Amino acid sequence: MSEPVVVTHSCASYPVYVEPGLLTQLDAIAGEQLKDKRIAMIADAVVHQLYLQGRLGRVSWSGETLTVPPGESSKTRDTWARLSNQLLDRRFGRDSGLIGLGGGVTGDLTGFVAATYMRGLPYILVPTTLLAMVDASVGGKTGVNTPHGKNLIGAFHPPAAVLADPLTLATLPEREYRSGLAEAVKHGLIADPHYFDWLEAHTAEILSRESHVVAHLVRRSVAIKAEVVSQDEREAGRRAILNAGHTVAHALEQASQYELTHGEAVALGLIAECVIAEHIGAASKGLSQRVGNLLNRLGLSTRLPRPLDRSAVIRGMEMDKKNRGNSIHLALAARPGEMYRRTGWTTAVSEEDIRAGLAAVEVA
């Protein structure tokens, strides 16, 4: 196995292994990482069907498995209770460990079951979507949604290890794959100019999911997120840069009634926020163009699919929890790999600036 990327958090650290073919050794690796534990796997039902029952046979796993129906609607307290009850029924005790196989939904759920079952079990994440590999598996946040909003009930409980096998991405629907790429572009933009250049130089191999190129992309993105969160675990200060593009993106997702995927909204949010940065002189002209070109070449749209009510989007941004005082604060890039830092990691922007940013992503 090649060297893992190490994510450090306040109590300890955990390895993120990224390697094509890794999951053909899952049984053995899980046994090593969760030594002397009785292990249960919690798996996304689609991934379970494809990789544990189907002919793909890329995941070696012979232990007990609980499945979760695919999709965000499974990320609830009801599913958490059902999974916990199933573990109790099967008499899993304090000496147990869990494996979460699937996208961010399964990962967040498995992590939350692990955080609460018998006051906390160790667990391994096996992300099978690009978004889960580059984003959801790093940082230790676990939880479920409620009718009041997403991720409102949860716990901070980092995994013991993460195993990402880029070969599993072969079956990921195109739209899901591209959504993950928006986060990779964000990582280059906020922290690493060389990575941003590399993304620009490898768009064809990335789109064809060439496994070694995807492995590099996942490793770089994980390393960048890991570096940011390990410096600033509980999201004061620098961690705000991970929110680049996201203040606009969350408001767009909401205003589109979740017609846009998270990644599609992040692509639009990155463009809008780069335009805002140019507008206030935080970034030089041309940044939004460069970021937009890269997103386009990665198959992500830089225009909204249909008109949205701009005032509703702005109201959505005002609700964003990162606001201080009355003004909207954004984490703005100055150039690829470097954040604008005049007044800290985020900058207050006016409604007029925001309108200029939103206009740039309006239907042409």
Ligand X SMILES: NC(=O)c1ccc[n+]([C@@H]2O[C@H](COP(=O)([O-])OP(=O)(O)OC[C@H]3O[C@@H](n4cnc5c(N)ncnc54)[C@H](O)[C@@H]3O)[C@@H](O)[C@H]2O)c1
Interface pick for ligand X out of 34, 39, 47, 126 (rule CB under 6 A): 47
Q: Does 139 bind ligand X (CB under 6 A)?
A: yes
Q: Decide: helix, strand or coil at residue 167.
A: helix
Q: How far apart are CA 196 and CA 185, in angstroms?
A: 7
Instruction: State yes or no: is 75 an active-site residue.
Output: no
**Cβ count near 225 (within 10 Å):** 26
In 3D, which of 158, 322, 180, 129 has the Cα closest to residue 226?
158
Q: Which stretch binds ligand X (CB under 6 A): 133-141, 281-289, 296-304, 330-338?
A: 133-141
**Cα(129)–Cα(169) distance, integer angstroms:** 6
Establish whether 259 is a catalytic residue: no
Nearest of 242, 10, 271, 21 to residue 135 by alpha carbon? 242
* Given 97, 100, 102, 122, the residue binding ligand X (CB under 6 A): 102
Cα 158 to Cα 344: distance, rounded to the nearest angstrom: 28
Q: Which is nearer to ligand X, 47 or 280 (CB)?
A: 47
- b/e sequence 111-141, b meaning 16+ C-beta within 10 Å: bbbbbbbeeebbbbbbbbbbbbbbbbbbbbb
- 128 contributes a contact to ligand X by CB under 6 A: yes
By the rule CB under 6 A, 165 interacts with ligand X: no
Give me the 177-216 binding string for ligand X, x by CB under 6 A, dash otherwise.
Answer: ----------------------------------------
Q: By C-beta, is 90 or 234 nearer to ligand X?
A: 234
Residue number with the smallest Cβ distance to ligand X: 104
Annotated catalytic residue, options 75, 145, 183, 219: 183
Contact positions vs ligand X (CB under 6 A):
44, 46-47, 50, 70-72, 75, 102-106, 108, 128-129, 131-132, 135-136, 139, 141, 150-151, 168, 171-172, 176
